[in-house]
Amino acid sequence: MNSALPLLPVALMLMLSAPAFAQDTPAPNQDTPESDEPLPLVKNPELVEYVQAPYPEAAKEEGREGTVLLLIEIDEAGDVSYIEVLESAGADFDAAATEAAWNFVFDPAEDANGPTPVQIEFSYGFVLDASTVEGAVEDEQAKEEVFLPINLDGVVVEMGTKRPLANFPILITTADGTVIETQTDENGTYEAAVYPVGIVSIQCAYPEYETSVREIELTEGDRTSLRIWMKNLNYREDELVGVYRKPSADVARRTLTMEEVKRVPGTFGDPVRVIQSLPGAARSPFGSGFLIIRGANPEDSAVYVDGIRVPLIYHLGGLVSILNPDLIDTVDYLPGSYGVQYGRSLGGVVDVKTKQEFPEDNQFYWSTDIIDSGGLVQGRVGDWGVAVAGRRSYIDVFIPLFTQNQNFTVSPKWYDYQVKVQQLDRKNGSLSIFAFGYRDQLTAGTNANTAQGSDPDFQGDFGSINSAHRAYVQWKHNFSDTWNMTVTPSYGIDSASFDVGGGVRVTQDQPMLELRAETRWAPSDRFNLLLGTDTVAGNFTFKAELPFSFEDAASFDPLAERNPVSFGGEGYYYTPDIYLQTEIHPLKDVDRWVIYPGIRYGVGQIWDTENPDPLINVQGWDPRLSTRFKTGENGTLKGGVGLYSQWPQPFEVWRPNGSTELDMEKVLSAELGLEQQIIPGLNADVSVFGKKLYDLIVDNPRATDADSLFYVNEGIGRIYGMEAIIKQDPINNLFGWISYTLSRSERNDYPNRTSELEADEVIGAPSSGDWYLFDLDQTHILTGVLGYQFPKDFGVSGQLQYVTGNPYTPYSGGIYDLDQDFYTGYSTAPYNSERLPNFFALNLRADKTFTFEKWQLDAYADFLNVIRGENPEFVVYNYDYTDRRFIRSLPFIPSFGFETEFHF
């Protein structure tokens, strides 16, 4: 068809990129008052009907070419309302171009109010080529063909993330200075007819992106594709979201989003660790990551992944979580007063949610630091999103460097994996499959020919292996606007084994089926109903080998002959808990007040196949009530009260003969708080709480042999305090928070006993019937986090911690046991009656993101304990308890790491 074009008047359009420019140049007939500030355009005008000007005969015969620069005003309807020749190419060219331009039709420009008149500059070129000299074609079809030979196309994508960039303007400058503009569509693609061909310059500029300028050569008859990479000047700006509260029945729920918290010092790049900087979370020894939430034992807090309970959230030592950080979407941290969806725990809850969205391109992440390395591949396969991740530690290589002079080595190793598949674009819901697991192994010991104490039964190394695997299918469906359902069946297996010097060996396997299903019915915006079940059933097997029998242990006579025993158990358990919760909005202003009454019914049994009686047979109702009331636009009053029950720990539920006669441990919890926006971007959250613990499981002091009850529900406890957080949202690249917790946690193991009766004679001992401080009670916990994002993707942050020292029991001396060659310390002060010096530490972090065409490199340096106090974690006494030293917490630790992100 091109050959039929004897005359090729090439119209070179210039639709100037800056819409403001078009409006800054007022049209002669425009009535807009000068004082009116024009609104920015949200859409540029687009030429939808082009009219070709006839090549002036005289110019053709004379071989003249030229370009006319026109000023064209386009009205709200897209019609041309005014034309002015800005640069003349000769009267004949000017007339032809102007006449043709009057017949152009545009898709009008738009601002926030809709279509709006604008002015544009338009270059109308007249060019002769070989074909045009042969003849002229005037028919309409030929005219259209003239403007369709697209010879340049491509896509504009963001460097590093490979994300397509929509509505990005592109300026193309040819060798003769002609400028052509186009822009990307919603998929980031663009195309243009660029003439004359030859070397052309292609420029793409956009706010917050580095301008890209490329030169390429276009050849006649060829179509060239060019991918343009745009570097975002600050990738992190969109990522700074952080800690926020999501209104729900969980009064104290704090939801963490990943990108901000990953940059908190001391987290080793793992977002889950930031929980320990939030109110209610006590400092754990050696930064080990134990969840000590609101004065509860670490084992009393529950950990979930997408609602499926897992044994632990951190690998050995608490340095990193069991999930790849890039697979985590949010972390819900619930220190107390949570809803009925969560149960079987007295302490707090941590629920890690994995990502629900998958990128359109394929992505590969790789992270490496001094602890471990891991990778993640995610993308799409057909209608399914797929993510595969894995990680392996190598910290065991470094630890011997620090312990080589101590004749003692520690070797922790771990790995984890995750595979997630999710159906995309599923109508009215979603379907996903997720499998994940981990394995932690720890060995410790001395050299082979060095005695480890004097006991011949414990001369081997210490070793432990813990592993857990889970696989679930999650189906979500919206039956209607008012009714939805989520069903998550899962299968899992937990295994644990440990070997204490070859003398004590225990192995345990626990496969399980779990069903979490809930349906919500919301007939109106003032009422909805949630009904769910949290059912777990499975079986267990364990085997134990001990160098001494229960009777040997009870007699505690080191001169007596030992009788090694080997025993095991096999059985099954089930606990079909159900829960019901309503959401009531009593006022017409539905957002002002919401009440969440709920109740959870917990029931469960554990059976040993060799035992006619159930080991555990428990049931109970846990009623809970929480509420939120808006005190104004910026304040919310909140409160909650509820009962929480917890099963016995695994080591407490077995007995050789008969039932353990154990009931669930219970806590009555109450909380009252206020959320208040101080100024935009600065929010405060203050709560007071109290917990009454009862039926706590403690050692049975009357146990004498294997037929005795090993544990009894005699203990009680009380925990009370307040917690507060003031948080600066990420504004002007600044983020941070100050959290403070004031609390006291106490226990009384045997409240019905007195020291004068049957308990130990040592006043204040846990067995005496007196109140004593919880081992990890910390009166004041103050944490400050501050971070700043500089340009060029460079960030620094700091974390300051001040925490009251843990309580400990002082010893005054020791009594020498001649048979066992060691001293037993005796105390003249009550149990946990003294405190370690306070803890103080400053951690710093600096990170920088480097962006390349197809990948990004995020490098960081984490400096733990840049400034620190004495920071004792424990008291250690000398051999006869006449001298003591504090074991200091972790020293200054520089940690370096990087993460890469590839798109392919």
Instruction: Summarize as ranges the residues that interact with other proteins (CB under 8 A).
Output: 285-286, 288, 290, 297-299, 316-318, 399, 402-403, 405-408, 410, 412, 442, 444, 449-451, 453-454, 456, 459, 462, 464, 498, 556-561, 563, 649, 697-699, 715, 747, 749, 766, 775, 813, 815-819, 821-822, 824, 873-874, 876-880, 882-888
For other proteins, which is the closer residue by CB, 499 or 608?
A: 499
Nearest distance in Å: CB 697, other proteins? 7
Nearest distance in Å: CB 451, other proteins? 5
Q: Quick check: bond before 196 cis, omega within 30?
A: yes
Helices (H) then strands (E): counts for the chain: 8, 52
Q: In what order do the strands lie in the sheet with 114-116?
A: 41-43, 109-111, 114-116
For other proteins, which is the closer residue by CB, 130 or 559?
A: 559
Nearest distance in Å: CB 750, other proteins? 10
Nearest distance in Å: CB 653, other proteins? 14
Exposure string for 457-491, b = 16+ CB within 10 A, e = fewer: bebebbbbbbbbbbbbebbbbeeeeeebbbbbbbe
* CA 352 to chain CA centroid, nearest Å: 7
Q: Are strands 822-826 and 209-210 parallel, antiparallel or unpaired?
A: unpaired
Q: Under a CB-based contact definition with an 8 Å cutoff, are residues 15 and 107 in contact?
A: no
For other proteins, which is the closer residue by CB, 210 or 299?
A: 299
For other proteins, which is the closer residue by CB, 144 or 551?
A: 551
Nearest distance in Å: CB 406, other proteins? 4
Torsion angle of C-alpha atoms 194, 195, 196, 197, degrees rounded to 10: 40
Nearest distance in Å: CB 825, other proteins? 11
- How many CA atoms lie within 13 Å of 522's alpha carbon, on the beta-carbon side? 13
For other proteins, which is the closer residue by CB, 135 or 453?
A: 453
For other proteins, which is the closer residue by CB, 225 or 704?
A: 704
- The rounded distance, in Å, linking the Cα atoms of 183 and 190 is 6
For other proteins, which is the closer residue by CB, 37 or 561?
A: 561
The strand ranges marked E within 631-733 are 635-646, 665-679, 682-699, 711-731
Smallest CA-to-CA distance from 748 within 765, 729, 761 is with 765
For other proteins, which is the closer residue by CB, 391 or 747?
A: 747
User: How many CB atoms sit inside 10 A of residue 756's CB?
Assistant: 9
For other proteins, which is the closer residue by CB, 417 or 750?
A: 750
For other proteins, which is the closer residue by CB, 570 or 760?
A: 760
Amino acid at 332: D
Nearest distance in Å: CB 236, other proteins? 33
Which residues are within 8 A (CB) of 238 and not within 5 positions of it... i.e. 6 or more apart? Answer: none
CA dist 577 to 220, 334, 643, Å?
A: 74, 20, 15
For other proteins, which is the closer residue by CB, 317 or 348?
A: 317
For other proteins, which is the closer residue by CB, 411 or 605?
A: 411
Which residue's structure tokens are 């590093």? 160
Alpha helix ranges (H) inside 102-243: 130-134, 140-146
User: How many CB atoms sit inside 10 A of residue 352's CB?
Assistant: 25
**SS3 state at 367:** strand
Nearest distance in Å: CB 296, other proteins? 11
- The rounded distance, in Å, linking the Cα atoms of 838 and 873 is 10
For other proteins, which is the closer residue by CB, 607 or 750?
A: 750
Nearest distance in Å: CB 496, other proteins? 11
User: How many CB atoms sit inside 10 A of residue 515's CB?
Assistant: 15
Nearest distance in Å: CB 885, other proteins? 4
**Dihedrals φ, ψ of 145, to 5°?**
-60, -30
Which residue's structure tokens are 């005699």? 714
Smallest CA-to-CA distance from 527 within 575, 585, 572 is with 585
Nearest distance in Å: CB 492, other proteins? 21
Smallest CA-to-CA distance from 518 within 441, 599, 578, 571 is with 578
Q: Under a CB-based contact definition with an 8 Å cutoff, are residues 227 and 159 in contact?
A: no
For other proteins, which is the closer residue by CB, 403 or 609?
A: 403
Nearest distance in Å: CB 604, other proteins? 20
- What is the enclosing helix (H) or strand (E) of 231? strand 224-232
Nearest distance in Å: CB 444, other proteins? 5
Tokens of 562: 């030992």
Nearest distance in Å: CB 856, other proteins? 33
Nearest distance in Å: CB 608, other proteins? 22
For other proteins, which is the closer residue by CB, 307 or 764?
A: 764
- The rounded distance, in Å, linking the Cα atoms of 330 and 259 is 10
Q: Under a CB-based contact definition with an 8 Å cutoff, are residues 777 and 295 in contact?
A: yes
Which residue's structure tokens are 């007699």? 555
Q: Under a CB-based contact definition with an 8 Å cutoff, are residues 547 and 562 in contact?
A: yes
